[in-house]
């Protein structure tokens, strides 16, 4: 029988794929299809609305329970989890096993291969791949800093701590890492990295973005100001 060897090879290959899937790299395009299941309750685009569940753009490696404007269960809000790949994958496999009293009623994706695919897709949902934050003008951003930030922050290399930490080379860096500044517990424990997304979210409304932050700053309302300050901060290296 001619077909038999081919069949055997396929079976073996399939078997190996399944067995190595625990940490195997997933297929993002398959993951995108699987993510349709999530979209019953979640938007996945940057700045998407919260629905029954919170917007999930850029959720990987972020602390749980922190999407602005979303009312979490107490269990999720107090979970202290970070959505690193392993935690995310476990949660998606069986939400209630990871956060016992979560209000996410989703049966779970049982197949490890599917979770790996989904994870690969979620990896693509982050600021750097998004065109949604307009490209700002660094010169104008400097003016925004002068107007809105320098009462509390210095921006030059080695600048002083004023009411807030020095902001030289902050873009892309982990939060709450400036030695000698006394951060709020909220920021210290946030696990945040100052990605484009997080910076813009924080600067739009610090208190809403991170409950308990001591950055008493009402926030930048104009999208242009936010894009400009981001562009300016990225020049400070
Ligand atoms: C039936 C609606 C529903 C579906 C389907 C659903 N979720 Fe959720 N999800 C929720 C709700 C509600 C919450 C808030 C949970 C809480 O506060 O306890 C949530 C929370 C989350 C969180 C935590 C977010 C944060 O800000 O900490 C992640 C991660 C998540 N969902 C991922 C997924 C993924 C991935 C899928 C698809 C495989 C999915 N969800 C499908 C309703 C859903
Ligand atoms: C009224 C004072 C004040 C103003 C105005 C202010 N900030 Fe802050 N900022 C703070 C404080 C205080 C913190 C520390 C917050 C904490 O620990 O929770 C902080 C923290 C930050 C952080 C996090 C730093 C880190 O090390 O993780 C960034 C980024 C930031 N501010 C940017 C800005 C920018 C940009 C502006 C102007 C658009 C601004 N802030 C305006 C007081 C201020």
Q: Where among 104, 129, 154 does a domain terminate?
A: 129
37 lines ligand 1 (CB under 6 A): yes
202-234 core/surface letters (b: 16 or more CB in 10 A; e: else):
bbbbbbebbeebbbebebbeeeebbbbbbbbbb
Q: What is the CATH number of the domain that holds 53?
A: 1.10.760.10
Query: 4-19 vs 112-123: helix axis angle to the nearest 10?
Result: 70
Mutate to test the pocket of ligand 2, among 141, 153, 231 (most ligand atoms within 8 A of CB): 153
Distance CA 160, CA 181 (A): 10
Domain termination residue (choose one: 105, 129, 153) = 129
CA pair distance 67, 44, nearest whole angstrom: 12
* 188 inside domain: yes
Residue 91: nearest ligand to its CA? 1
Has residue 19 been placed in a domain?
no
Q: Whose CA is nearest to atom 26 of ligand 2?
A: 176
- In this structure, are 156 and 230 located in the same domain? yes
Q: Do 174 and 119 fall within a single domain?
A: no
Same-domain check for residues 144 and 185: yes
d(CA 191, CA 170): 15
CB 143 within 8 Å of CB 53: no
User: Which of 92, 106, 108, 116 best tests ligand 1's pocket when mutated (most atoms within 8 Å of CB)?
Assistant: 106
- Assigned domain for 3 exists: no
The answer, yes or no, to whether residue 13 has pLDDT greater than 80, is no
Whether 125 and 144 map to the same domain: the answer is no
Distance (Å, whole) CA 18 – CA 118: 15
Mean pLDDT in residue range 93-119:
95
Q: Is residue 97 part of a domain?
A: yes
- Are 54 and 94 in the same domain? yes
Q: What are the Cα distances from residue 21, in Å, to 86, 111, 112, 115, 177?
A: 13, 9, 6, 9, 36
Q: How many domains does the chain have?
A: 2
Task: Read off the pLDDT of residues 157-214 as tens digits, 9 standing for 90 and up.
Answer: 999 988 999 999 999 899 999 988 999 999 998 888 898 888 988 998 898 888 899 9
Q: Residue count of the chain, please give it.
A: 237
Residues 75 and 45 placed together within one structural domain of the fold: yes
Per-residue pLDDT averaged across 140-146, rounded? Answer: 96
Backbone angles phi, psi at 63, to 5 degrees: -70, 145
Whether the predicted model's global pTM rises above the 0.85 cut: no
Rounded percentage of the chain residues whose pLDDT exceeds 70: 86
Mean model confidence pLDDT for the chain: 86
Distance (Å) from CA 104 to ligand 1 centroid: 5
The reply to whether 123 and 171 lie within a common domain is no
119 and 43, same domain (yes or no): yes
100 and 46 in a common domain? yes
Same domain? For 174 and 84 the reply is no
Among residues 129, 150, 177, the one where a domain terminates is 129
C-beta atoms surrounding 13 within 10 Å: 10
Atom of ligand 1 lying closest to residue 109 CA: 38
In tens, the pLDDT along 16-71 reads 333 333 445 789 899 999 999 999 999 998 888 999 999 999 898 888 998 989 99
Which of 28, 36, 38, 60 has most ligand 1 atoms within 8 Å of CB, for mutation? 38
Ligand nearest to the CA of 148: 2
Domain of 66, in residue numbers: 24-129
- Residue 228 · residue 140 · CB < 8 Å: yes
Shortest-distance ligand to the CA of residue 182: 2
C-alpha span between 159 and 167 (Å, rounded)? 8
Ligand 2 atom index nearest CA of 192: 27
Q: Quick check: is 203 in a domain?
A: yes
- CA angle at residue 233 from 164 to 192, to 5 degrees? 65
CA of 169 to the centre of ligand 2 (A): 14
Q: Does residue 98's CB lie within 6 angstroms of at least one atom of ligand 1?
A: no
Who lines ligand 2 at CB under 6 A?
Answer: 148-149, 151-153, 163-165, 167, 170, 175-178, 183-184, 186-187, 194, 199, 203, 213-217, 220, 229
For residues 143 and 122, membership in a common domain is answered with no
Among all ligands shown, which has an atom nearest to the Cα of 163? Answer: 2
Place of tokens 């700002």: 136
Same domain, 95 and 148: no
**178 is a domain residue:** yes
Answer yes or no: is 153 within a domain: yes
Look at residue 176 and tell me if it is in a domain.
yes
């Amino acid at each position: 029988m001619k077909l038999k060897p081919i069949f055997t090879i396929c079976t073996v290959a399939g078997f190996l794929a399944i067995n190595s899937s625990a940490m195997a790299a997933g297929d993002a395009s398959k993951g995108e299809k699987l993510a349709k299941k999530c979209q019953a309750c979640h938007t996945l685009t940057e700045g998407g609305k919260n629905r029954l569940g919170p917007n999930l753009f850029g959720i990987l490696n972020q602390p749980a329970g922190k999407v602005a404007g979303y009312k979490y269960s107490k269990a999720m809000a107090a979970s202290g989890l970070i959505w690193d790949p392993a935690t995310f994958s476990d949660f998606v496999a069986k939400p209630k096993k990871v956060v016992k009293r979560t209000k996410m009623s989703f049966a779970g994706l049982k197949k490890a291969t599917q979770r790996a695919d989904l994870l690969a897709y979620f990896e693509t949902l982050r600021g750097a791949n998004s065109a949604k934050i307009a490209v700002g003008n660094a010169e104008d951003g400097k003016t925004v800093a002068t107007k809105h930030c320098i009462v509390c922050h210095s921006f030059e290399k080695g600048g002083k701590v004023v009411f807030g930490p020095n902001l030289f080379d902050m873009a892309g860096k982990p939060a709450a890492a400036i030695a000698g500044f006394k951060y709020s517990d909220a920021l210290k424990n946030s696990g945040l990295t100052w990605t484009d997304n997080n910076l813009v979210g924080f600067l739009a409304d610090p208190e809403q973005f991170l409950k308990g932050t001591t950055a008493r700053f009402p926030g930048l309302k104009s999208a242009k100001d936010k894009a400009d300050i981001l562009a300016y901060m990225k020049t400070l290296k």
